[in-house]
Structure 1
Amino acid sequence: MKMSIDFYNKNSKEFFESTVSADMTETYIEFLKYIEPNGKLLDAGCGSGRDSLFFLGKGFSVVSIDASDEMVRLSSELTGQKTVKMKFQEMNFNDEFDGVWACASLLHVSKSEIKDVIKRIANSLKLNGIFYASFKYGEGEIVRDGRLFNSYNEESLKSLIEMQRDLKILKIWKTQDVRPDRENEYWVNVLCKKE
Structure 2
Amino acid sequence: MSQSVAYYNEHAQAFLDETLYVDMSALYDSFLPHLPENAHILDAGCGSGRDSREFLARGYRVTAFDASDKLAGLASRAISHPVSVRTFDQVSEYQTYDGIWASALHKVGKTAIWQTADRRPGRDEYWLNGVFQKCDNTRE
TM-score where L is the length of structure 2: 0.89
1:34-55 deviations in Å (ceiling 9; x for gaps): 1112100000000000000000
Cα distance change on mapping 1:94 and 1:132 into 2, 3 Å: closer
Higher relative contact order (CA 8 A, sep 6+): 2
- Which structure shows the bigger proportion of residues in helix conformation? 2
1:60-81 deviations in Å (ceiling 9; x for gaps): 1100010001111011112212
Counterpart secondary structure, 2:98: strand
Shift in Å, 1:144: 4.1
Structure-2 residue corresponding to 1:108? 107
RMSD: 1.9
Cα distance change on mapping 1:107 and 1:142 into 2, 3 Å: same
Q: Which runs of 5+ in 2 are unaligned?
A: none
Structure 2 letter corresponding to 1:107: H
Q: Structure 2 CA distance, aligned partners of 1:117 and 1:31?
A: 16
Structure 1 letter corresponding to 2:21: S
Counterparts in 2 of 1:78-157, with a 5 A limit?
78-103=78-103, 105-110=104-109, 114-124=110-120, 126-136=123-133, 138=134, 141-144=136-139
- Would you say the 8 A contact 1:38–1:61 is kept in 2? yes
Q: Which runs of 5+ in 1 are unaligned?
A: 146-195
Structure label with greater radius of gyration? 1
1:12-53 deviations in Å (ceiling 9; x for gaps): 111111111111001000001211121000000000000000
Cα distance change on mapping 1:116 and 1:18 into 2, 3 Å: closer
- Would you say the 8 A contact 2:88–2:112 is kept in 1? no
Q: Structure 1 CA distance, aligned partners of 2:36 and 2:19?
A: 27
- Which structure shows the bigger proportion of residues in strand conformation? 1
Q: Structure 2 CA distance, aligned partners of 1:122 and 1:71?
A: 28
- Would you say the 8 A contact 2:43–2:101 is kept in 1? yes
Counterpart secondary structure, 1:65: strand
1:104-154 deviations in Å (ceiling 9; x for gaps): x111125xxx42442124424843210000022x4x641447xxxxxxxxx
Structure 2 letter corresponding to 1:127: D
Cα distance change on mapping 1:143 and 1:127 into 2, 3 Å: farther
Counterparts in 2 of 1:1-195, with a 5 A limit?
2-103=2-103, 105-110=104-109, 114-124=110-120, 126-136=123-133, 138=134, 141-144=136-139
- Would you say the 8 A contact 1:53–1:79 is kept in 2? yes
